A and B are shown apart, each in its own frame.
Chain A
């Protein structure tokens, strides 16, 4: 069965590869034909030449063999437009070489085709415009004019045409994921952004408004592209830019719009510069945003991993107490069962067993409750937030840690009033914070030289102005060290020989991730007081505590 699945996977991949090659050929043909309409003088040099961009993007994505498709299609295209066989071969070969060389260089420098970093934009511009376009333009110029007087001038035009084509179409072809732009996967807002951009450009270029208004207005595409870049992925941004560029180019070709004023060559060049800048601006912005998002995600994952480690650490410290806690109901269950067996053997009536059996069920539930609590505590949550009653979270945490307190003969007092304390939190994270702070409080009470052992007090209450839920953990230990209290929350600052020094740092990060605060103060009695403040959530009936 595994082999079949693998075959299917391989088939699907081959299918995609084949479709990719067909798309490459189609793109080259269609855009090529379109571009050959914009030519300059004699020989007819296209002012907008997307072949290098298509070749580079598709070769990078589908492999070097794509160069073959590129060669054939580009050569046929030129033959179709009346070029000689040797000229067509040279042009096709140059475009194919531009793709292969550029793709290999991009791969060598670790280019990410989704433009996740600003560095990727730099790589693409330098290698694409610098290398691929140069190779393509060199081949094109040699093919068209050979070594002639006009060589430098034609080479310049060719290079500019290649680079602009590459900047416009390349990023989109590189970044787009077909799976993600299928309508049922992509958020509908993406389609709206793209359609909106196209409509905007159509309005400016196609409505026939006077050039004096249309030209300044045409710069509105910059803020629009920036807006898209800040809201969507680089792929969607570049798709918007491509849509806008396609309409702008088509309108200009049809002698419409602000750039159809000064005669063909100049129009198209200024339009190209305009569009290239637009593409570059949008691309840079989109990749910077992607980079920032990735950094934020990494920071979140980092905190989650640290928090997970913290939970395991806390649990390992509580293990002995919890083993005892589970053993108690097990002992009760076993005693009831054995007692019941004796009664049966001695011929007592089954009615007499009723109570024992009832207690067996109850003891079993108690044990599985404890196991469930541990699993809930250790669960590597997805960070889902829900409206929770802080009193429940306090109760859970106190039950988890109580055996440890009992072991050391330290009392743990809970004090919450009768009204619910709704907070919008990830329960896993908050339980961890509470258990951690209660563990710390216990350690501080047990510090040699502490006046008396306990009690530790945990209180939950609603505070107004600002409206928040406050959880206070107060110990009777020796109090906070002199000096900077904030140092307590720095990582790797610990009072315990076997401590990781991460507990309080993680606790504060977790509380702050909930827009709350965690501070250390002197308790009125002389110990330490840890104060958690969380924004109060709206009261919801669904999750109201019984």
Chain B
């Protein structure tokens, strides 16, 4: 897993250096970029952390950069910093999914608090993503027979009915069911249903 990083973008070298200094005194690892294009070149969806972007940037504004990042699958939380008179754009950015915005010059506690919140959000997001990935992997590991049994369970059928429908013994159904629960890491039937339905594959599944 990559280290958590704060990605900072501002076209003003002084502000870039100053905010980076402030963040580093807060104990964060900071990477600085003086243009949106450089950020888009270097950051990937694998990166962990949060983005601190100036609203007013050369070539593209903060909103456009936010769209470009999302289009590349970069889901890290975004905090905007705005100068005088850029508030309307910052509000738009928040409405479009940014975590928050700060007006320059800002308070150090405020900045560090928001960045901490951003990193926390990102951590949760990544944990969630890891969980989803685990479920997908587990679903992939099921045998065709196990998948059939699992889908019958999702339809809410009792073991006896499943056994009759799939022409197997009740005992065999119970073995398959136990294997499915084990592979998915579910504690019981209802837990399994919740996990499976939260997966990409079964999100829109209907009996």
Interface positions of A (Cβ within 8 A of B) = 320, 323-324, 327-336, 338-343, 346, 356, 359, 362-363, 366, 406-407, 409
Contacts and interface: CB of A to CB of B under 8 A. Distances in A.
B105 A320 contact: no
B177 to A, nearest CB: 57
B21 A335 contact: yes
B25 interface: yes
Q: Interface centre among B15, B19, B106, by most A CB within 10 Å? A: B15
A339 B22 CA distance: 4
A332 B14 contact: yes
Contacts of B73: none
B46 interface: no
15 contacts: A328-B12, A328-B14, A328-B15, A330-B105, A331-B19, A331-B106, A335-B18, A335-B19, A335-B105, A335-B106, A338-B108, A339-B108, A340-B25, A342-B108, A343-B25
A334 B56 contact: no
Contacts of B12: 328, 332
Given A334-B105, A363-B18, A327 B58 contact: no
B189 interface: no
A24 B26 CA distance: 88
Interface in B56-92: 56, 58-59, 83-85
B17 interface: yes
- The residue in A324, A335, A338, A346 that gathers the most chain B C-beta atoms within 10 A of its C-beta is A335
Given A335-B106, A338-B22, A362-B14, 13 more contacts: A324-B85, A328-B12, A328-B15, A328-B104, A330-B105, A331-B106, A332-B18, A334-B105, A334-B106, A335-B15, A335-B105, A359-B18, A366-B14
B107 interface: yes
Contacts of A328: 12, 14-15, 83, 104
A335 B56 contact: no
Nearest to B112: A342
Given A328-B15, A333-B18, A409 B58 contact: yes
Contacts of A356: 21
B56 A359 contact: no
Pick the most buried of B25, B104, B106: most chain A CB atoms within 10 A of its CB.
B25
A180 to B, nearest CB: 54
B56 to A, nearest CB: 7
B63 to A, nearest CB: 13
Interface string B16-37: 0111011011100000000000
A330 B106 CA distance: 10
B104 A336 contact: no
Contacts of B83: 323-324, 327-328, 331
Nearest to A330: B105
Nearest to B108: A338
Nearest to B109: A338
A99 to B, nearest CB: 69
A418 to B, nearest CB: 26
A362 B58 CA distance: 24
B21 to A, nearest CB: 5
Contacts of B26: 342
Contacts of B21: 335-336, 339, 356, 359
A333 B21 CA distance: 11
Contacts of B14: 328-329, 332, 359, 362-363, 366
Contacts of B106: 331, 334-335
